[in-house]
């Protein structure tokens, strides 16, 4: 009925009345209907509970000490009695100061003011009184025009600082990235000097693929970056076309803009990846911007595709060489490797292969060794890896070419000869590079030694031994030894028509061979007493 509802509302509106009776106030009574330990004022405690207490955590409960005379509840434990019992005394505490409060005529004098309960009637007035810009319904600062900031003066060069979003003529340079879920959000601005790589999923449909903006090249290069006096256009650096089965082809002419179009139930020229390269000067001005695209095709069944985006900043006139540690290797960074050119000991240094890295066979979804050529993964320091593929041997296969093919599959096109011992080893410092030792283990089969032995490599194991180097508090990782072990097995002749599948594996293992640290102590300070030469002046 209406009365109870109003009553309940009225009760809900006013806060509960404060407890002012000193005898009933108990700050340590935290457990409802249970006795709190060492809480002498707890009404839930019985005499038996009091006999177990050691002290009273709240010895005195008083009101405001400014009052001239006030009631005080004093709790204490009488430990002499057996069993100990609690003593409760209600005394009048007198404040001897002449400035004690004799009386007050102001109700809230010694209490905190209860805040006003908002009701529909006083809500607007309270909002005006207490609500600042954070609570107002129409804040002044939310002008829609503030996104278009004042364009910089023509004479003033536009300098960027680290982390500042790269501005274009309408908004910011966008790097779509996953927000909350894996779906692409186009509102992520690229920060200056912040190298980012993101991957996100975009929903597509083949019928409407030419109308979805984010799938066309134009979306990513049509805005020009605001930088220095003029605007920097984003040029197309290269276009790689990826076919449906994953093969990538670099196109010769990257000037032609390729827009998505529907062709035979496929949509081609769909942007699968963009790689921005921004060049800047040492004063923070952007002078060049280029984008490398990966275009692909989507089939009718595809409902979503994964796009990957990357942005990297390079200072002009420099060619950055990524180090794998400074000086010790950092876990997760690739091992640096290279070759020694002919003609050592001339101080020619090392050549590194195309990516300066030691690589390992990368397992593919097809698991066929002969079709897996090309896919390799870099060996990362500290990460033990194992990968493999399956080799189908038929009777028609010849031994020698097969062995050579497998060796290529295991080792890759250019297997390096040397590995850098420190993450920042320079190519000129020949002593900083560790040669790769090669071992050969052959699994001999006991059966029939008369058969022509044909050894084919079936496993490559790289063992990298590293040690901790340097100070005890900041040890650096240093590679001491790299051993590549090839295990070969005998290939038996198969009767024609039969085929066999053998597994081929490659692995890399990192072993820590640090010797225990030896503490070094500073030398004891010596007392150096030397008398000045004229100490005994008058006598010498």
Partner 1 sequence: NNSSQLSSLPLQILFYVNGIYYIFYFLATLAMIIYKSQVFSYPDDFLAPDLAVLFLMAILEVPRLYLGVKGNLTEAEAPLGLSLGLTVGSVVLCLYLLLWQTYVLWADVVLNALLLSAYGLESGLKVTAIAAFVG
Binding site for partner 1 (CB under 8 A): 66, 68, 97-106, 108-110, 113
Instruction: State the burial class of residue 505 (Cβ atoms within 10 Å of its Cβ: 0-12, 13-18, 19+).
Output: middle
Phi/psi zone of residue 497: left (φ > 0), alpha (ψ -120 to 50 degrees), beta? left
Nearer to partner 1, 103 or 256 (CB): 103
Q: Is the peptide bond before 54 cis (omega within 30 degrees of 0)?
A: no
Nearer to partner 1, 97 or 299 (CB): 97
Distance CA 456, CA 145 (A): 71
3-state secondary structure 238-299: EEEEECCCCCEEECCCCCCCCCCEEECCEEEEEEEEEEEEEEECCCCCEEEEEEEEEEEEEE
Q: Three-state SS for 10?
A: helix
**Minimum distance, C-beta of residue 67 to partner 1, in the bound complex (Å):** 10
What is the CB neighbour count within 10 angstroms for residue 529? 5
Please choose, from the candidates 338, 278, 284, the residue with its C-alpha nearest in 3D space to the C-alpha of residue 311: 278
Cβ distance 381 to 331 under 8 Å?
yes
**Angle CA 49–53–54, to nearest 5:** 170
Close Cβ partners of 41 (under 8 Å, ≥ 6 residues apart): 25, 26, 27, 28, 29, 58, 61, 73, 75, 88
**Minimum distance, C-beta of residue 64 to partner 1, in the bound complex (Å):** 10
Distance CA 466, CA 382 (A): 9
Nearer to partner 1, 106 or 536 (CB): 106
Distance CA 440, CA 267 (A): 51
**Minimum distance, C-beta of residue 93 to partner 1, in the bound complex (Å):** 15
3-state secondary structure 399-433: HHHHHHHHHHHHHCCCCCCEEECCCCCCCCCHHHE
Close Cβ partners of 58 (under 8 Å, ≥ 6 residues apart): 26, 27, 28, 39, 40, 41, 75
Nearer to partner 1, 52 or 109 (CB): 109
Nearer to partner 1, 8 or 94 (CB): 94
**Minimum distance, C-beta of residue 95 to partner 1, in the bound complex (Å):** 8
**Minimum distance, C-beta of residue 71 to partner 1, in the bound complex (Å):** 18
What is the separation, in whole angstroms, between the first and last Cα of the chain?
119
Cβ distance 293 to 238 under 8 Å?
yes
**Minimum distance, C-beta of residue 145 to partner 1, in the bound complex (Å):** 43
**Minimum distance, C-beta of residue 72 to partner 1, in the bound complex (Å):** 18
Nearer to partner 1, 110 or 501 (CB): 110
**Minimum distance, C-beta of residue 107 to partner 1, in the bound complex (Å):** 10
Nearer to partner 1, 32 or 98 (CB): 98
Quick one: DSSP state of residue 315?
Answer: E
**Minimum distance, C-beta of residue 102 to partner 1, in the bound complex (Å):** 5
**Minimum distance, C-beta of residue 169 to partner 1, in the bound complex (Å):** 56
**Minimum distance, C-beta of residue 98 to partner 1, in the bound complex (Å):** 5
**Minimum distance, C-beta of residue 57 to partner 1, in the bound complex (Å):** 30
**Minimum distance, C-beta of residue 96 to partner 1, in the bound complex (Å):** 9
Nearer to partner 1, 107 or 398 (CB): 107
Nearer to partner 1, 103 or 527 (CB): 103
Q: What is the distance of C-alpha 213 from the center of its chain?
A: 30
Nearer to partner 1, 111 or 344 (CB): 111
Cβ distance 313 to 278 under 8 Å?
yes
Nearer to partner 1, 67 or 456 (CB): 67
Nearer to partner 1, 110 or 251 (CB): 110
Distance CA 34, CA 48 (A): 13
Cβ distance 86 to 51 under 8 Å?
no
Q: Around 203, how many Cα atoms within 13 Å sit in the side-chain half-sphere?
A: 2
Nearer to partner 1, 106 or 535 (CB): 106
**Minimum distance, C-beta of residue 47 to partner 1, in the bound complex (Å):** 41
Nearer to partner 1, 102 or 129 (CB): 102
């Amino acid at each position: 009925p209406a009365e109870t509802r109003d009553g309940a509302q009225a009760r809900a509106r006013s806060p509960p009345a404060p407890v002012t009776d000193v005898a009933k106030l108990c700050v340590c009574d935290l457990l409802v209907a249970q006795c709190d330990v060492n809480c002498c004022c707890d009404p839930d405690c019985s005499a038996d509970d009091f006999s177990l207490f050691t002290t009273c955590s709240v010895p005195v409960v008083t009101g405001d000490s400014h009052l001239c005379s006030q009631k005080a509840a004093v709790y204490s434990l009488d430990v002499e009695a057996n069993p100990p019992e609690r003593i409760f005394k209600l005394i009048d505490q007198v404040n001897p100061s002449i400035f004690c409060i004799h009386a007050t005529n102001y109700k809230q004098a010694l209490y905190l003011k209860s805040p006003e309960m908002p009701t529909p009637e006083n809500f607007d007035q309270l909002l005006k009184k207490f609500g600042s810009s954070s609570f107002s319904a129409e804040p002044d600062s939310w002008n829609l025009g503030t996104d278009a900031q004042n364009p910089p003066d023509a004479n003033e060069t536009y300098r960027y600082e680290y982390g500042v979003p790269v501005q274009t003529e309408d908004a910011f340079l966008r790097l779509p990235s996953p927000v909350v879920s894996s779906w692409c959000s186009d509102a992520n601005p690229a920060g200056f000097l912040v190298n980012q790589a993101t991957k996100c999923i975009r929903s597509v449909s083949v019928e409407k693929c030419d109308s979805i903006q984010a799938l066309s090249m134009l979306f990513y290069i049509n805005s020009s970056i605001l930088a220095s006096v003029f605007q920097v256009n984003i040029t197309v650096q290269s276009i790689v076309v990826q076919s449906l089965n994953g093969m990538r082809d670099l196109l010769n002419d990257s000037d032609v803009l390729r827009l998505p179009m529907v062709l035979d139930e496929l949509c081609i020229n769909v942007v699968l990846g963009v790689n921005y390269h921004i060049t800047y000067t040492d004063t923070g001005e952007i002078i060049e911007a280029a984008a490398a695209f990966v275009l692909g095709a989507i089939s009718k069944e595809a409902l979503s595709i994964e796009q990957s985006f990357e942005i990297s900043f390079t200072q002009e006139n420099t060619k950055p060489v990524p180090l794998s540690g400074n000086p010790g290797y950092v876990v997760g960074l690739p091992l640096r490797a290279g070759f020694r050119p002919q003609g050592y000991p001339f101080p020619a240094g090392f050549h590194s292969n195309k990516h300066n890295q030691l690589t390992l066979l990368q397992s593919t979804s097809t698991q066929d060794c002969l079709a897996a050529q090309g896919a390799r993964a870099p060996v990362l320091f500290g990460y033990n890896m194992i990968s493999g593929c399956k080799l189908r041997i038929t009777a028609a296969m010849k031994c020698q070419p097969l062995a050579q093919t497998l060796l290529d599959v295991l080792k890759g096109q250019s297997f390096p000869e040397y590995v850098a011992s420190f993450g920042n080893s320079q190519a000129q410092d020949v002593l900083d590079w560790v040669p790769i030792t090669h071992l050969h283990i052959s699994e001999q089969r006991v059966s029939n030694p008369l058969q022509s032995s044909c050894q084919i490599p079936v496993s490559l194991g790289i063992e990298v031994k590293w040690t901790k180097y340097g100070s005890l508090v900041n040890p650096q990782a240093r590679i001491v030894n790299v051993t590549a072990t090839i295990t070969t097995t005998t290939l038996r002749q198969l009767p024609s028509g039969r085929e066999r599948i053998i597994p081929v594996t490659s692995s890399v293992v990192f072993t820590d061979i640090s010797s225990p640290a030896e503490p070094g102590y500073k030398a004891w300070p010596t007392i150096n007493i030397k008398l000045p030469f004229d100490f005994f002046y008058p006598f010498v």
